Structure 1
Amino acid sequence: TGYESVCYNAFNLPPMEHYDYIIVGGGTAGCPLAATLSKHFKVLLLERGGLGKNGHNIEQQESFVSNLVHADDPDSPAQTFISEEGVVNARGRVLGGSSKINAGFYSRAGVGYVREAGWDEALVNRSYSWVERAVVSRPVLKQWQGAFRNGLCEGGVKPDNGFTLDHVEGTKIGGSTFDQFGRRHSSADLLQYANKDNLKVGLHATVHRILFHHPKQVQYRLQSSRRRAYGVEYTDAYGIIHRATLSTSKGEVIISSGALGSPQLLLLSGIGPAEQLDILGIP
């Protein structure tokens, strides 16, 4: 795969390590972020899932539905959850995150969204190219997909834009993370761009807590009186506790655990609405 050489079962990681950057969550955001930062810094990427090779064929397009059906298996690359509205869904539990279990549709963000966010448009466009080289293909439409596209056009969803990766109004054929052979590509593929001397990926590593310094405990000067994260505490598949901490005051702990995992970890670490933390007994 080009990145497995930097992947380790968390059980084999030392009980204490130090890095410039610690990234929690090896999913759609965490993998490219780790690859980019490793160019100049020592990076630890922690993922609660594995490589997804325990009998679950997540690499092939025809296995897309079956993997979601078996999402409650203990070693499944997917995990089900139910929204507050009662809608059953699934999230990734594998290196690559939900980009390893989804339907594989790819599209760029709208120009208006990028501008509203205040991002550098030129940098965003260069980033698209960086991702698309490794992950995106032009899909070969199946018969039902062609019929669906024709139906949209006949129903007035126009114009017909043909194939494009841009976010446009009307009907279009977007990109796919499945290649011409039906093989899935995911954000994990972007780890091939990493400086492998600077990157370590810990698999089956469940982070339970972000470690914080109180301002009075910090030996270096802070820009504010807020607490500062200096590391994380995680367990491996055998329940053994490990710690990873930042090696310098300029380092960062980055939480990229998804829309569910990120707020959950913040709550477990004592960050969140006081009334919710009090109910859970979290100081």
Structure 2
Amino acid sequence: MQTRLVEYFLSLEREGHFARAAARCNVSQPTLSAGIATLEAQLGKRLIRRDPKYAGLTDEGVAILPWARQLIAAAEALGQAAETARGPLKGELRLGAIPAAMPVIGRLAEAMLARHAGLNVSVRALTSRQIERELAAFELDAGLTYLDFEPPAHALSVPLYVERSMLISAVDGVPIPELLDWADLARLPLCLLHQGMQNRRILDARLAERGLALRPRVTADSYLALLGLVQQGRLCSIIPDSHATLLNGLSWAATRSLPEMGEGSRVGIIVSDSTPMGPLAQAVLGVARELRLPPGFCAA
């Protein structure tokens, strides 16, 4: 069985469209369709529902999907292992990162490229749940995410730092009480991440422990959007303290520490807990163990 045929199958499942899947594989649509038909003939099972366009996977297609992903991941790792046995690590490191950890991406990528000059690094902003799913589907090599709240399953991890939260407002915007407590926080006009983001779920859980709930007036899926909202002066927000360095030089922004909320949230690198481990996963774990973050980051 040619792995290329399996790649066609996976690409079609991912894209849900024959033309887009063919473009992803850099082949013509007839070539992709013929390749999938050949795979079906080899397995003696129909894998794709056509009506007349792509209409999903058959039960047999769903059944082989995790094995197809594992086969392609193993083939890629095999090639990397052979290529790096006597030479530098090459290829693309696919890294997913939660928005809260984006300030760390530059240092991690710099450390990876310094250690492995032949690598390219692809970074995608994903939720913690997306990172876990895509690691399991072999679509990521590593993730940068929370480690303790809703801990990722079947993963090896290296803690990098402990995240705490801070309040941000415009200098001439929302008036903030001098002695801020949690009840004050719940009364402020807030813009926050939506509840699909783990940072927000952690915040909500910690407020619930105190009998409080946050009711933001605006929700978003990125900190850049939250900063844009806060800059207008009518709203304030709660963001990770790791973003403090990115705010240096912004004359409109004022930050405040929040009341003590416990031990903080550990953030770190995760890779799939599989044996044997691929060279890219081994490389990112090795760099993560030696990564030293600046003093603004609380050690894990």
TM-score, with structure 1 as normaliser:
0.23
In terms of fraction of residues, the more helix-rich structure is 2
Question: Max radius of gyration: which structure?
Answer: 2
Higher relative contact order, structure no. (Cα contacts within 8 Å, ≥ 6 residues apart): 1
